Amino acid sequence: MGVHPTDLQDRLRAVLLFNSVGNLFPRMQHVWADAGSTGKLSTALKNALGWTLQILKHPWSGNLTI
């Protein structure tokens, strides 16, 4: 892990974080995240680590996914 610039979006920081800890969790295959993690994060995780990403929706959004 390391320190990342504050002007990076959280989604990009997540990719950097996951890339740096992937070897620490060799059995991990799936990650859950909130709706703020949509976009290229899913593709980046799949390409870099082979992990899948599931976006969970909040109950108040009207589309609860568990």
- What pLDDT, on a 0 to 100 scale, did the predictor assign at position 10? 65
Higher pLDDT, 50 or 60: 50
- What pLDDT, on a 0 to 100 scale, did the predictor assign at position 52? 92
Q: What is the pTM of this model?
A: 0.64
Count: domains in the chain: 1
What is the number of other CB atoms lying within 10 angstroms of the CB of residue 28?
13
- What pLDDT, on a 0 to 100 scale, did the predictor assign at position 63? 59
**Could you list the residue range(s) of the whole structural domain that residue 65 is in?**
29-66
In a domain, 42, yes or no: yes
In a domain, 9, yes or no: no
Tens digits of per-residue pLDDT, 1-54?
Answer: 566 666 666 667 777 778 788 788 889 899 888 776 667 788 888 888 898 988
Q: In this model, does residue 66 exceed pLDDT 60?
A: no
